[in-house]
């Protein structure tokens, strides 16, 4: 049996650990051979492959990024995309595909499964916004990086009596902002799920200065003010129709300065949150997902995805996991609000 493996969408720490676990179990235990597809769905679309055997996965556990490369290629936005993939898989003798990705990559996997491709999914995203699994790998590393940044910004904010704003990733869901903001003791956390009132933000800022402390604001890149959101981001879109985000931190700094007279500066963490070595928790989760994904192939659990439930790894239907995003519950946000201002 020949198994293809691909990583699609935004990269995240732990992808290589999944690939390693798949191959390290799949070769000796099941006698499978593997083929790496390059750059997400571009690989099967263009028959762009690389060898994937045990020597190829040596030393991968702590390595960030993905040796297979990634892209946001959407085969459903390309004429004849699905037929080309099916043809290439057949020509390459690939019997099954393991797709490691987030909402878009696994959304494609779901539709390919419906089109008759033998596919198993593995969820990844630093945003942690995939349904069906308690956590995705990559998230823990990103939260750790953001928390360290917040810790460092506290001391410089105090020294200069400034408002410091940290813009973190999180397109539709505020999980990174919520977790790192709570862990780092942010005074305000703004997330996409709860449009913010800029007057209220300024009241929190002033309250914080009255206590002789400098405010730290953590904002998800996808957060929006109750009014005027259109002007924040460029109109540029990817193949899945997502707008390229960025600008809410600068918007906040401008508004806060003009309304409160306090100096406000923004740090955009951007891709720093996605790069570098995975945390030990992400290596653990990614490795277990890889082991269970190859078991799922052996058991022909097509159209299913590995998921974490508590400390167990279970299989859930891809269709269920990609139906809707997992966003922050208002009750969790209310917990964080206790510390605002």
Residue numbering of the annotated binding site for diphosphate: 10
Nearer to ligand F6P, 10 or 184 (CB): 10
Residues between 280 and 339 that touch ligand F6P (CB under 6 A): none
Asked if residue 167 binds ligand F6P (CB under 6 A), the reply is no
Tokens of 141: 């590393």
Judge contact between 85 and 44, C-beta under 8 A. Answer: yes
Residue by residue, DSSP assigns 247-265 as -HHHHHHHHHHHHH---EE
From 104, 127, 129, 295, active-site residue: 127
Task: Tell me how far apart the alpha carbons of residues 54 and 78 are, in angstroms, rounded to a whole number.
Answer: 34
Task: Tell me how far apart the alpha carbons of residues 143 and 183 are, in angstroms, rounded to a whole number.
Answer: 9
CA atoms within 13 A on the CB side of 144: 15
261 CB burial (10 A radius; 0-12, 13-18, 19+): exposed
| Nearest approach, Cβ of residue 30 and ligand F6P (Å) | 31
Asked if residue 102 binds ligand F6P (CB under 6 A), the reply is yes
| Nearest approach, Cβ of residue 228 and ligand F6P (Å) | 20
Nearer to ligand F6P, 27 or 325 (CB): 325
| Nearest approach, Cβ of residue 99 and ligand F6P (Å) | 15
Nearer to ligand F6P, 73 or 187 (CB): 73
Nearer to ligand F6P, 157 or 223 (CB): 223
Nearer to ligand F6P, 140 or 221 (CB): 221
Judge contact between 210 and 187, C-beta under 8 A. Answer: no
| Nearest approach, Cβ of residue 21 and ligand F6P (Å) | 22
- Torsion angle of the four alpha carbons 54, 302, 284, 38, in this order, in degrees rounded to the nearest 10: 50
Task: Tell me how far apart the alpha carbons of residues 314 and 209 are, in angstroms, rounded to a whole number.
Answer: 48
Task: Tell me how far apart the alpha carbons of residues 185 and 154 are, in angstroms, rounded to a whole number.
Answer: 9
Task: Tell me how far apart the alpha carbons of residues 112 and 107 are, in angstroms, rounded to a whole number.
Answer: 9
Q: Is 95 designated active site?
A: no
Asked if residue 127 binds ligand F6P (CB under 6 A), the reply is yes
Binding site for substrate: residue ranges?
125-127, 162, 169-171, 221, 265, 271-274
Cα angle 168, 174, 175; round to 5: 95
Asked if residue 245 binds ligand F6P (CB under 6 A), the reply is yes
What is the rounded radius of gyration, in angstroms, for the C-alpha atoms of the chain?
21
Task: Tell me how far apart the alpha carbons of residues 181 and 164 are, in angstroms, rounded to a whole number.
Answer: 13
Asked if residue 128 binds ligand F6P (CB under 6 A), the reply is no
Letters for 181-220 (x = contact with ligand F6P by CB under 6 A, - = none) are ----------------------------------------
**Selected range binding ligand F6P among 57-65, 167-175, 180-188, 256-264, rule: CB under 6 A:** 167-175
Widest pairwise Cα distance in the chain: 69
Nearer to ligand F6P, 87 or 244 (CB): 244
Residues in binding contact with ligand F6P, number by CB under 6 A: 12
> Among 56, 55, 65, 52, which residue's Cα sits nearest to residue 15?
65
| Nearest approach, Cβ of residue 308 and ligand F6P (Å) | 18
* Interface residue with ligand F6P, options 85, 112, 126, 232 (CB under 6 A): 126
Asked if residue 125 binds ligand F6P (CB under 6 A), the reply is yes
* Interface residue with ligand F6P, options 8, 10, 40, 249 (CB under 6 A): 10
Residue 298: partners with Cβ closer than 8 Å, 6 or more residues away: 30
Binding site: residue ranges?
10, 103, 125-127, 162, 169-171, 221, 265, 271-274
Return the active site residues. 127
- Give me the residues that bind ligand F6P (CB under 6 A), please: 10, 102, 125-127, 169-171, 221, 244-245, 274
């Amino acid at each position: 049996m020949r198994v293809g493996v691909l990583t699609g969408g935004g990269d995240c720490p732990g992808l290589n650990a999944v690939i390693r676990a798949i191959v390290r179990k799949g070769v000796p235990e099941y006698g499978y051979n593997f083929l790496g597809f390059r750059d997400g769905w571009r690989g099967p679309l263009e028959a762009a492959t690389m060898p994937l055997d045990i020597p190829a996965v040596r030393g991968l556990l702590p390595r960030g990024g993905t040796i297979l490369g990634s892209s946001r290629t959407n085969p459903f936005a390309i004429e004849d995309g699905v037929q080309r993939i099916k043809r290439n898989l057949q020509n390459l003798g690939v019997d099954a595909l393991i797709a490691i990705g987030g909402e878009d990559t696994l959304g494609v996997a779901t539709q390919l499964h419906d089109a008759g491709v033998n596919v198993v999914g593995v969820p990844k995203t630093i945003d942690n916004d995939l349904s069906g699994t308690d956590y995705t790998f990559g998230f823990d590393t990103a939260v750790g990086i953001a928390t360290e940044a917040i810790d460092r910004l506290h001391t410089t904010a105090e020294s200069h009596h400034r408002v410091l704003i940290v813009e973190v990733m999180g397109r539709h869901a505020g999980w990174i902002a919520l977790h790192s903001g709570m862990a780092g003791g942010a005074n305000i956390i703004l997330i996409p799920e709860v449009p913010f009132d800029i007057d209220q933000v300024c009241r929190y800022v002033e309250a914080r200065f009255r206590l002789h402390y400098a405010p730290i604001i953590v904002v998800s890149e996808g957060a929006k003010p109750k009014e005027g959101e259109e002007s924040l981001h460029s109109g540029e879109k990817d193949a899945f129709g997502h707008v390229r985000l960025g600008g809410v931190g600068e918007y906040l700094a401008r508004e806060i300065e003009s309304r409160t007279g306090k100096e406000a500066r923004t740090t955009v963490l951007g891709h720093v949150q996605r790069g570098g070595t995975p945390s030990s928790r992400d290596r653990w989760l990614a490795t277990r997902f890889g082991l269970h994904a190859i078991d799922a192939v052996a058991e022909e659990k097509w159209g299913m995805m590995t998921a974490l439930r508590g400390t167990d790894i279970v299989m859930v239907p891809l269709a269920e996991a990609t139906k809707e995003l997992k966003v922050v519950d208002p009750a969790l946000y209310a917990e964080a609000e206790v510390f605002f201002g």
